[in-house]
A and B are shown apart, each in its own frame.
Chain A
């Protein structure tokens, strides 16, 4: 408590100073003020100073209004805010300042505050929170008329739909879709009500939502009693919403004080009375009530956060599980967001290593923690909340220059990030598999570390931090300095250079190149539903096709009017441009994926005692959003190889005259419609002789074969070859290389390896820019057209009779360039009629997939084209041998072959029977021809 009191004073001082230096128009500074006042609010509530809390709350809201532009950010207003702060300081000292002066100040700014808020609190401070909350119900929800109107409309709509759905449900009680709809309605009502500060409506809706959640998870039957309660809730809510509207239109006098406790209790009874598989703590309905009676949620959060860790752990079991199960939707949202935030954190922390004093980066780390803290607090995920909160505090100290950004701090923040990720992962597991998989996380260790750091302690003894020394106590505490403005960099700028060199650190030059663009990128962007985007791409694709068809119409081609022809030219340029733009909207820079590698290299080199510089190039290179996740795994395997096996340990390197610190270069660029990703290490290169020996040993080649070193090196990608123990031990290559190859092929890409003994190894990964477009060869089989992905095609030839061999009279093969390749008759596998029955009349396309070669027999090659891949839709998914469809130039659908599936399908199919004796005879005559 004493600590809190001190920090309240500190916060007020901080606020007073900051407000002095705020410049009108500097919204980020105001944002900073807002954050401080938020903290003040939290702490004031903890130290039980309701008046101060109220003031802080009003102050905070006034700041929000300034940010929103509702109040002009004039110097006068900042003066008033300053005076308001001094009033708050007075209140903090003796609890006896005049709140009316405070409200007058804010009112003068154009921000209306109800003095009754403060008066009510003073009158009855023992019951302050409860009565305060009641008073607020009257006024707070009226603060934003627009929000309120929206709420009334939506709530009405939802309540109506709930009612009709419940009636529908009575007829078909097992229809989960209806239950879901009702659930969603209550969920929405809950959400918007709490936004609008209509706490009671929100609580009632929340309790009902919990009930319905039980129902939809089949833990509770929706019997007569339950239905009645839900209907009763509906009626009550309807009346409450109606009253809100009346109050809104006619004034507060018409406010009817509806109670909701009775109904919440009823909901609780229904839930408790049912025979369900109860979670250890079935505190669902009481929780809903208690939230209401206690202070607003914010108080809870702040209160919890400052409790000592010992209490925390007791809380943990009962806190996380049940609440977590209640709000599955919200939790799912939180999980997705948290992962994103943790990624941001990691990327920024690594950047921070290069520029420890960059306040912007610290802010970029601070904010995600802040968000995680906020949301987890809201969801009652107390352990996560607590850990995020502590880290946030630590970072706050750093950005306020109370603490140096030492190597230890970075390690701790990274460690916390990882730990949080595990915790969130566990949440996600629980969401999928139920509470049984709940794992207990002990955060006390991290909290202790953070506290040590905050007290200026040194974790150097810690094993993790052994290689670095903490930079000499840097930046003197200068709390008066507003840390936001980049124009005033902290005094400790010079310290950057002294930050000890770290193994994974990039050289001094690149960071400016790699770090700077990251910041520029924070431009305006909007999130768009992928479906809408696909719709746009579809429509544009169709536009292009239609335009081509119109232009090819003989009536049009005959037109000789130059103006019209010119216009057509213009039209086609615009449509092409439009198509390009539409496609590019799916593209994102590859930076994010690359940044994950920074971490990987850092950890790997630390572990293996090597010194490795990671140099990145071309992080701006854009790649299809859908591919980002898929390239991660292959990339990790290749990076791991380069660091683990490519780069030697320092003394070995020095022995061969190389600098002790190795370099791994990761580069991306566009080339010929592909994206190329290069990983280049300056290590020892592959031991080609050993690989050759191994290949001969495994019968992949003969000792006498004239196979180039390059081909031999690339054998490490062969399945089975890579996992072989010897290669890994001897030459150090091959862990998971077939994984790489498979992953890359799945993306319709290719991977290649170039090794120069003694100088290093280079991986070249060639990937299509997008998964949405495929470069294909269009073939005709009978009257059908199929598209074969070009990347898999090795050659196409017209087979000659003497190359045709059968096995047991059925298995057809072709001898092409000394290798025997099985023939797949597309017409047979796909049951196409009217296809040429004779091999020699058609054309075979030799394709390769996962090391297997096949010759596809088709009637004709029609051309090569880039086509947009479309799914065949939910109805026809997973057809063996087909990767999807596409719209061809004439507007018809063409089917794209999936070679892996096709090979499987052809093997599953009964063998091709040489029908009517014709082919048989032909085959026989081939044989004769060849033998004679």
Chain B
């Protein structure tokens, strides 16, 4: 598989979840695990450009895939515009759900570049946050989209 632009290959146990492969084998610990029922979205990454909860997939299923994790978002020391918007709008507190939120939100804007507030909320329904009450996360995504925040 290609992860953040680098080709990474490994022998994996068939049952290994992709998220554990990323974290425990490749050392990409920015992708977090917040639940065991694919409910929280903390482990959201991009596979071939689309957001996927990496706990719902086996590592072997990602063979040959092009994967982007949160570590691959900032380039040349510059935050990705979505990351910058989260910082600008105080869209994170403890930061645990944040990588998944950023990945899901980036994918959302790719599908719908100018979402309404309601569309942002619906688009992020699969990502849980316990700190922010979502208010500033929604504001961050709208800011990144360039809309009124």
Report whether chain A binds chain B: no
- A residues adjacent to B (C-beta < 8 A): none
